[in-house]
Amino acid sequence: MPRALDNAARFNQCYFMKFQLHAPSPVRSPIAWSTVLLAGIAAPVLAMLLLVEATTPVPLSLVRGPILAIGLMGTGMIAAAAAGRLWVGVLLALLTGCALTLLASELGLPPFSHPVLAGVAAVIASVSFAARGALFARSASDKGWLVAVLIVAGEAALVATAVIQPEFLPNWLLALLPAQWASVAIDTAIIGTSGHAAIPALIALVGTALATLVVVWLWPRRWTYLIMFSSWLGLSALVYNS
C-alpha cells in the first residue's frame, strides 16, 4: 500500500509538472488588453448609449440580452486568451456584466424579472467563454488573443444582424452560436417569460464549457477536439429543436 501511494504521488507530480510546462505565459501587449476593454466594455456601453439616444424600431429592452452576452464574451474570451488563465476571464467577464447591468439601471431600464436566472446565466456564460479563451491561449500561444478577437467579432456581427434583421439569418445558424445561447438565457431573465425557455441554452453553455476544458486539460492531445466539436454540434441541435 505505501508503495502504491508513493507511485500515485509520483504520477500526480509528473503530470502536474507536465501540465505546468504547457501552461501559456500571459501576453503583456497593451494592444491585447486594450482590445479586452474595447470589445468587452466600450463597445457594449457605446451600443447602449447610442440606442438610448437614437430613434430606432428596436426597443433597448429587447437588445439588452445580446449586448450583455457580447460584453461577457468579449471580456471573458479575450482576457482568458491573453492571460492564459481561465479565472482571469471569468472574473473580468462577471465584472463587466455587473457594470453593464448598473448602466442599464442608470438609463432607466427595468430590473431583471428573474434576477437569480440572470446571475446563473452570467456565471455559466462567463465560464464557457473564458474556457474557449483558455484553449486559444494553449493552441495559439501568444497569438491566442487574436483568435479570440476574430471569434468574438464574428459572433457579435451575427448576433447583431439577428437583432436588427430577425428574418435575415436562418435559425440553424444562430443555434450554432454560443453568444446567441447566452443572449437567449439573459433575454429570458429580462423579459420574464418562463425560465424553462433558458434551460436548453444553459445546458448548451455548460456542455461546451466542460468539453472545452477537457481539451485544455489534455492538451496537446489533439484527438480531444473530436469531443469538443461533437458536443458543440449535439448541443446546437438541442438548442435548435427547443
pLDDT digits (tens, 9 = 90+) for 153-189: 999 999 989 888 888 899 999 999 999 999 999 988 8
The verdict on whether omega for the bond into residue 30 sits within 30 degrees of 0, i.e. cis, is no
Domain residues for the domain of 210 are 2-241
Cα 118 from chain centroid (whole Å) = 14
Phi/psi class of residue 165: alpha, beta or left (left: φ > 0; alpha: ψ in -120 to 50)?
Answer: beta
What integer is the mean pLDDT of 56-60?
56
* Between 3 and 34, the higher pLDDT residue: 34
Q: Which residue has the higher pLDDT, 5 or 163?
A: 163
**Total domains, the chain:** 1
Strand boundaries in 74-177, DSSP class E: none
Rounded Cα gap, residues 45 and 36, in angstroms: 13
The upper half-sphere exposure of residue 44, i.e. CA atoms within 13 Å in the direction of its Cβ, equals: 32
pTM to 2 decimals?
0.86
Selected residue with higher pLDDT from 76 and 192: 76
